[in-house]
Structure 1
Amino acid sequence: MTATKIAIMGVGKIARDQHIPAIAADPRFELAATVSRSGGLDGVENFATLSELIAARPDIPAVSLCMPPSVRYEAAAEAIAAGKQTMLEKPPGATVAEVLDLARMAEEAGVTLFATWHSRHAEGVAAAKAWLADKTITALRIDWKEDVRKWHPGQDWIWEPGNLGVFDPGINALSILTEIVQVPLHLTGAELSFPENRAAPIAADLTFAGPGFIAEAAFDWRQEGGEIWQIAVETTAGTLRLIEGGARLFLDDSEQTVHGRGEYPDLYHRFGDLIEGGARDVDATPLIHVADAFLLGRRLVVEPFNE
């Protein structure tokens, strides 16, 4: 089997921590180049712009775009126009309209577009979805809280419009929610807490309505003493809990055995399958919920945030 050559654009923390090791572990891919103005990787050809990569390396058919969402649309559109199989780090764009437009472009060009939601590939998510498939949900609660200084140290871009603030991790919870709950949900209310010196929220409280139940979510970047990434779903057959970002699954108080490749290795496995099948996978639903939160959300001004 010949490995597909792939280039990464945006060699930041998420690329170094997750994408590059996942590519190295997948025999179907070969990291052939990077695109980064701030420097690439030792031993890997680097280009300053995507245009330079496309011109110099027509032998690279696939790209993985790992830069912040506020600047991803133009790069994705350029890659699709050049016929590149394209993978998008989450969230897939700064707006819903961008994502839908990229999906249209990819379909018209006949290339793969994979809008990834890495938390959907956590080990417990598929099993949770299967268990809930025939259950009646009575209540749902999400708590997704972490320390922004730990997970986004010195990353001022995350506080700018289009880069989501606390919804950057919160959208991971929403991606799991929309994967495991197979009934329609819509946002009915939100409170968004903005530090007085920042343009994006540091915390958010959301309420959703489902058929016969209410779902609540609390996202917070001011968490100290360890992360809380959990979803609890109460049903007439018992309570399901996903903790540690979906890695562990409990039914009532009994932990279930789950298996998986890990989030990012499974993303690249899925990307390989999509390329082989000439298919696309673009789901904007988690981003729609975030957009609705900004539309409906009551804005609260809280104390300033400083590193």
Structure 2
Amino acid sequence: MQKIRLGIVGVGKIVRDQHLPSIAGNGDFELVATASRHGTVDGIPAYQTIEAMLEAHPELDAVSLCMPPQFRYLAAHAALEAGKHVFLEKPPGATISEVEDLKRMAAAKGVSLFASWHSRYAAAVEQAKQFLKASPVRSMKVTWKEDVRHWHPGQAWIWEPGGQGVFDPGINALSILTHITPAPLHLTSAELEFPENRAAPIAATLAFGSANGLEVAAEFDWRQTGKQSWDIEADTEAGHMRLADGGAKLFIDGTLTFEAPDREYPALYARFAEIIKAGVSDADIAPLIQVADAFMLGRRKIVDAFHD
């Protein structure tokens, strides 16, 4: 079968660290071209804009969009208009309405749209989902705390409207949470901490509920130094579950029951190829809805200025 001819838009750190190795290791894809204002890939034709790339390479079958979310909608629209399958880095857009429009457009064009929630593909996530499915859940707690200076040094876009601030990593937790919980969750309250010199929050305290009485508390913080915390815990009738290290490890009553090497981005590209071949889309926006609800319901608290 002919390989899926792929173009990448936005050649930055995440592309070099994750996308390029994953594409190279997947026999379904062939990287044909890139579009980026600053980055290039050795040996691959490079263009400044997606429009120039699409014009020069009409043979492209699919496009991966890896620029900041504030700029993703118009690029996705151009790719879909040209009849290309589209891979959206997380979050899939700056707003819900953008992504809903892209979903409608993909359906009309008969191409696949993929909202790539990479943390859902962490090694132990499916095991955690099955554990929670088998035992009534009493309560859950999410702790997602990391050092923004380490993970996003000098990235101004992430502090601007649409950049989501601490929800950029926090949405990873929400992508797992909305996937593994047995019942749909809705936000009941939120407090968002905004540095006095930034337009996006640096921390958030969230509470969720469900129709069956499940309560979930979440703490997101971008000021943590030292060991980073990416944990989801659940008290159940079968014991205490902790999904640790961003979904890489599963503990039951303190005992490690499952872990495996990181394969998140290779799994994303395997899934992208799968939906292209099947002629379907996979564009769940539940995590993005939870973030939008947090901005809608959240009380704003102004805290000390943040400087890189």
Question: Taking structure 1 as the reference length, what is the TM-score of the superposition?
Answer: 0.98
CA deviation string 1:107-146 (max 9, x = no partner): 1110000011000000000111112113211010000000
- How far the C-alpha of 1:182 sits from its partner, in A, is 2.5
User: Partner of 1:161: helix, strand, or coil?
Assistant: coil
CA offsets 1:193-223 (integer angstroms, 9 cap, x no match): 0000000000000000122231000000000
Aligned-partner Cα distance in 1 for 2:39–2:296: 38
Match of 1:4 in 2: 4
Matched pairs, number: 307
Aligned to 2:299: 298
Which runs of at least 4 in structure 1 moved beyond 6 Å after TM superposition? none
Q: Distance in 2 between matches of 1:33 and 1:234?
A: 48
2:105 aligned residue: 105
Backbone CA RMSD of aligned residues: 1.0
What residue is the counterpart of 1:232 in the other structure?
233
Residue aligning to 1:192: 192
- Specify the code of the residue in structure 2 equivalent to 1:5: R
> Shift in Å at residue 256 of structure 1?
1.6
Q: Is the Cα–Cα contact under 8 Å of residues 9 and 67 in structure 2 kept in the other structure?
A: yes
How far apart in 1 are the matches of 2:202 and 2:221?
A: 6
Q: Structure 1 pair 12/250, CA: closer, same or farther in 2 (3 Å)?
A: same
SS in 1 for 2:134: coil
Partner of 2:264: 263
1:114 matched to 2:114? The reply is yes
Does the CA-based 8 Å contact 2:10-2:39 persist in structure 1? no
Pairing of 1:194-213 with structure 2 (within 5 A): 194-210=194-210, 211-213=212-214
Pairwise mapping of residues 82-101 of structure 1 onto structure 2 (< 5 A)? 82-101=82-101
| One-letter amino acid of the structure 1 residue matched with residue 82 of structure 2 | A
Give the match's secondary structure for 1:150: helix
Contact kept? 1:127, 1:258, Cα under 8 Å? no
Distance 1:169 1:261, change over 3 A: closer
* Matching of residue 44 in structure 1 with residue 16 in structure 2: no
Q: Which runs of 5+ in 2 are unaligned?
A: none
Q: Is the 8 A contact 1:137 1:235 kept in 2?
A: yes
Shift of 1:236: 1.2
2:130 maps to what in 1? 130
Within 2, Cα distance between the matches of 1:248 and 1:261? 10
Show the counterpart of 1:245.
Answer: 246
1:156 to partner: Cα distance: 0.5
Aligned partners of 1:110 and 1:3: how far apart in 2? 19
Q: CA deviation at 1:261?
A: 6.3
What does 1:137-148 correspond to in 2, within 5 Å? Answer: 137-148=137-148
* 1:15–1:66 CA contact under 8 A, matched in 2: yes
Tell me what 2:218 maps to: 217
Task: List runs of 5+ in structure 1 lacking aligned partners.
Answer: none
Shift of 1:39: 3.1
Percent identity, please.
Answer: 56
Cα contact 2:249–2:256 (8 A) shared by 1: yes
Q: Which residue of 2 aligns with 1:278?
A: 279
Q: Is the 8 A contact 2:248 2:260 kept in 1?
A: no
Which residue does 1:66 correspond to in 2? Answer: 66
